[in-house]
Structure 1
Amino acid sequence: METRKQSIGSKISAHGSTTSSTGDGEAVGLVRQLGVFSFSSLIIGTVIGSGIFISPKGILEYTHTVGLSMIIWVVCGLISTLGALSYGELGTTFTKAGGDFIYLLESFGPMTAFLRVWTCLAAVRTGTWAVLAITSATYILTPFYPGCPVPGLAVRLLAATILCAVFLVNCVSVPLTSRLNVFFTIVKVSGLIVIVIAGIVLLIQGNTENFEDPFKGDGNFKWIDLPLAFYSGLFAFSGWQITAAMVEEVINPSRTLPVSTVIAMTVITSVYIMANIAYFTVLSPAEILASDAVALSFGQKVFGDWAWILSLVVAFSCIGAINGGILSTSRMNFAASREGQLPKLLSMIHINFKTPMPSAVIMIPIALILLVGDSVYSLINYLSFTRWLFIALTVGTVPYYRIKYPDWERPFKVNLAVPIIFTCFALLVVVVSLYSAPKDCGIGLAIMLAGIPLYLIGVRWTNKPSWFDEGMDNFNLFCQKFMLVVEGDKKDD
């Protein structure tokens, strides 16, 4: 994976460019163009995906009571906010793009950082987008197939089209990506507000039976299943990690990161809690457990023939989450390449679009392959364990750096209790999940460790045969010419 230190970009200079500038001398690099509003919208748009429309069932399956389900939602919102604020401190301390990859690299070393990238590419991120694309396609097509299931081939083809379209937008324009994200955010939040308002009206009208004895369950609750309920809740809040991955493209990050994080997480948590109150106002626990799409079941009971509008809202919500996820993950690949952990090509930027096009393009075939069959759902389930392990390790670096490097400049600082509480909670969920779902965790751990041979061969093995290095150089040069990309300006802390 790691090519020779010689810059491939120097070879393309004969064609009118260098590794860090265009032919007219203009520097090539990531551009700061995200302010408080656009970045808040980006966080909201990335976090609000399919989770709030699906996860209520997952949480209720493990809590068995309305009251405990609501507590789980509140706790997940608070914990996610603590994690997002901790990432905000790291993002303003380390000014490089790349998010948790950079923090793991600096604290735990290159192998741990590489394994984070490997699991994201293998399924944590790409698999999530495949599932979101399938969900979006299903909701778009469902109104056209009343009374019968949607053909699987049609769902997969539309899902592939959605993925390719979103990847294309991310490759050609950050401003367009940001504007689309604002649009999707407005649509999904508006849809949730409609759900909330309808629920409040019905609640005022006296539909309170599901709240009269909120902690009365069916007797099947087990404390050991609680981490699985948190997994479902945290899945709905997942995506706040974007707060640090985009730091090189954020205007005045020392202010924008914390302000946007607080605004976005407050909006998300408030809307999620009110949406769940609305769900329980209209649907009984038994109806929620029997539904594969809680929002659609809600819409069918409240809006009747107009329920297709909520179907469209869910579809747009999923597309917006894909959009924000690609935007942040491509920056992680970009950073990993810049640090020598992925092919040099992935640290290059398009001359005109100023986007890290290769680091986004590399994920397209992986996401499309994961659309085939249903194995992607199992992969995501297996790797949830590793996802929260890496996030816990990342947030745990905040107190570590505070103690080891107290004199570092930190434009934004959180109270030390914030990262400590989050890290302890995340590690507790990880440890208990080892007991409650040992098979899934074991498979996830095996997939993660499969990245070690790739790291040893691709990164640590520096004296590769000359024919291999020459082949990689020629391949990178061809791709540079084909995609019109050059190596961007080096970014130092």
Structure 2
Amino acid sequence: MGTSQETSGDGGLKKEKEAVYLRKKITLVRAISLTIGTIIGSGIFISPKGVLMNSGNIGLSLLIWLASGILSMCGALSYADLATSIKKSGGHYTYLLETLGPLPAFLRLWSEFVMIRPANLAVVTLAFGRYLIEPLFVPCNAPPTVVKLISAIGIAFVIALNCWSVSWSANLQTTFMVLKLVALGLIIIPGIMALAEGKTENFQDAFDTSSLTLDKIPLAFYSGMFAFGGWFYITFVTEEVVNPERNIPITVIVSLIVITIFYLLTNVAYYTVLTTGEVLASEAVAMSFADRTLPQISAAISILVAMSCFGALNGGIFASSRMLFAASREGHWPNVFSMIHIRRLTPVPSLVFMIPLVFLLIGIGDLYGILNFYSFSRWLFMGLVTFGQILHRWKYPDLPRPFKVPLIFPIIFSSTSLFIVGMSLYSDPVNTGIGCFITLTGLPVYYLTIHKQRLPKSFRETVDYLTLKMQVLMEVIPQEVKTY
């Protein structure tokens, strides 16, 4: 942990202990809990439908799940390399800033908080609301208005918790990680038992190509990669990780091996019990599975799935707020967002900022439309991050890299991500086109950001006045100790 240059001796230690900055509270266990707990959210419970619908058959869908795990591992190892050589929080934004420059970094930041983050949180929150109250309305579907109301309450609670305490949020994440694995276990065990008893008819003609459409394969990857999304969150909080040079690489390797195995077994269980038609017709695949195999405790499984989504919300909000915090610290966002609560030591402004757009997208409520809507920008910029890593390795060959991965990993991840993005423009031009357009709307905002002095003096004075008032209202100040 960095120390203030003005401090020395016992007095300096005391001053640092009382200073306002984000502490290193993410141990290895908490780091793994954050990663697994954020990856396993709603994806494995809703994405099987999207993967199957766009892959065309069971066999190819399972291969896409495996490929998504391998591709995620390539990306995660590449990000771990960057995290141990560029020791700043902020994830995608920070790595783009350090490798490709401020413009792509700002556009990633812009798309993150105008589109990607609100859409991602809305998808997971709506899944949380649906699974939580679905048992109350069986055999009917829960009313959409009630689902949205419960979802809004859930996201507000998670943000409030993260504003209150880092430790509480981290401990809750560990608890939810255990619940997530239990929920998957309750799906995997009955499915594998049924498979062992000879129930294999759903796997006949597993690679039937009659419904295969090659231009839909990128959309199948979007659904599969969405379920693995979250492996990068640990790099958002690098400055808060204890011994990041050791713990970040261990975290991503352990987490992705565990999750890939669990995801493949879960999908095999789904397809053993449910036909392809039943998977495609279900709005909640895990619930359809539970109703068929464990009807006595299907309500309990539904609640476990809801808690899984809740844990993913907690981890996603905890991590993504640090990107906004880091960008504000670099001068790419209003200064107030780089401030920390004087007693709680949490980035309150960055957390509260996420509420309005998330509520708006919850109101819209189309899960699959939202998923395709933001996937373009998300995977475009992650491909650019690992491309930037290749350039950074070439430009700074002597930079210390405590965890150095072979260049084949970022090459695979970059080329695959950019290929999928390019194909998606062809297979789903409307949603991906909207995502591209919204990303580019950040260009004029970037221009105003880097040329602040060209803005009218009255406008700048108004911003400074509002910043001061927000500081007083939220009881926040800039960090007092350098942490990188």
TM above 0.5: yes
CA contact (8 A) 2:222 2:372 kept: no
Quick check: 2:119–2:371 contact (8 Å CA) kept in 1?
Answer: yes
Partner Cα separation in structure 2 for residue 377 and residue 166 of structure 1? 23
Output aligned runs, 1:325-474, within 5 Å. 325-374=316-365, 378-474=369-465
1:142: how far off? 1.4
Contact 2:34 2:234 in 1 (8 A): no
Judged with a 3 Å threshold, the aligned counterparts in structure 2 of structure 1 residues 96 and 380 are, in CA distance, closer, same or farther, namely same
2:128 paired with 1:128? no
User: Which amino acid in the other structure matches residue 162 of structure 1?
Assistant: G
Q: Which residue of 2 aligns with 1:196?
A: 188
Deviations 1:447-476 (A, max 9, x none): 111111222223433232222222222211
**After TM superposition, where is structure 1 displaced by more than 4 Å over at least 4 residues in a row?**
21-25
Which sections of structure 1, spanning at least 5 residues, go unmatched? 1-20
What secondary structure sits across from 1:125 in the alignment?
helix
Contact 1:131 1:376 in 2 (8 A): yes
Residues 56 and 213 in structure 2, CA contact (< 8 A), matched pair in contact too: no
1:327 is displaced (CA, Å) by 0.9
Structure 1 residue aligned with 2:33? 41
What corresponds to 1:30 in structure 2? Answer: 22
State the Cα RMSD in Å.
1.9
Aligned pair partner of 1:258 in 223, 227, 249: 249
| SS in structure 1 of the partner of residue 340 of structure 2 | strand
Instruction: Output the CA distance in 2 between the equivalents of 1:161 and 1:469.
Output: 36
Q: Counterpart of 2:46?
A: 54
Partner AA of 1:70 in structure 2? L
Residues 148-227 of structure 1 aligned to structure 2 (within 5 Å): 148-217=140-209, 219-227=210-218
Q: Identical aligned pairs, as a percentage?
A: 43
Aligned residues: 473
Residues 92-140 of structure 1: CA deviation (Å, up to 9, x unaligned): 1111111110111122222211111111111211121122212211111
Which secondary structure state, in structure 2, belongs to the residue aligned with residue 371 of structure 1?
helix
Call closer, same or farther: CA 1:380–1:490 in 2, change over 3 Å: farther
Shift in CA distance, 126/324, structure 1 to aligned 2, threshold 3 Å: same
User: Following TM superposition, by how much is the alpha carbon of 1:379 offset from its aligned partner in structure 2, in angstroms?
Assistant: 4.6
Deviation at 1:23, TM superposition (A): 9.2
Cα 1:182–1:76 change in 2 (3 A) is same
Change (3 A) 1:146 1:194: closer
Whether contact under 8 Å (2:119, 2:370) holds in the other structure is yes
The residue identity in structure 2 corresponding to 1:414 is V
**C-alpha contact 2:374 2:432 (8 A) present in aligned 1:** yes
Cα 1:22–1:361 shift into 2, 3 Å: farther
State the 1:41 CA deviation.
Answer: 0.8
The TM-score with structure 2 as length reference comes to: 0.94
Tell whether the 8 Å contact from 2:73 to 2:256 is kept in structure 1 after alignment. yes
Partners in 1 of 2:161 and 2:235 — Cα distance?
A: 21
Q: Which amino acid aligns with 2:457?
A: S
Q: 1:291 corresponds to which residue?
A: 282
Which of the residues 247, 269, 294 maps onto 2:238?
A: 247
Judged with a 3 Å threshold, the aligned counterparts in structure 2 of structure 1 residues 22 and 458 are, in CA distance, closer, same or farther, namely farther
Taking structure 1 as the reference length, the TM-score comes to: 0.92
**For residues 149 and 75 of structure 1, what CA distance do their matches in structure 2 show?**
33
Residues in 2 aligned to 1:235 and 1:24: alpha-carbon distance in whole angstroms: 40
* CA shift digits 1:413-443 (9 cap, x unpaired): 1111111111111111111112222222222
Where do 1:67-82 residues align within 5 Å? 67-82=59-74
Aligned counterpart, 1:270: 261
* 3-state SS of 1:462 partner: helix
* 1:114 matches 2:69: no
Residue 469 (structure 2) aligns with: 478
2: distance between equivalents of 1:62 and 1:154?
30
Tell me whether 1:92 sits opposite 2:89 in the alignment: no
CA distance in 2, matches of 1:479, 1:416: 45
Asked whether the 8 Å contact 1:99–1:245 carries over to 2, the reply is: yes
C-alpha deviation, 1:207, in angstroms: 0.8
Moved more, 331-340 or 286-295: 286-295
* Contact 1:91/1:243, CA 8 A, preserved across alignment: no
Post-superposition offset of 1:210: 2.1
Question: 2: distance between equivalents of 1:105 and 1:261?
Answer: 22
Letter in 2 for 1:188: K
Distance in 2 of aligned mates of 1:160 and 1:439: 28
CA contact (8 A) 1:123 1:379 kept: no
TM superposition shift of 1:381: 2.1
Q: Deviations over 1:246-295 (max 9, x none)?
A: 10010000000000111111111110000011111111112111211111
Question: How far 1:380 moved relative to its partner?
Answer: 4.1
Kept in 1, the 8 Å contact 2:62–2:264? The answer is yes
Distance 1:71 1:369, change over 3 A: same
Residue among 224, 229, 233 paired with 1:233: 224
Q: Is the 8 A contact 2:20 2:481 kept in 1?
A: no
Q: Separation in 2 of the partners of 1:149 and 1:63?
A: 27
Give secondary structure in 1 for the equivalent of 2:477. strand
Question: Do 2:25 and 2:240's aligned partners in 1 also have CA atoms closer than 8 Å?
Answer: yes
State the partner residue of 1:3: none
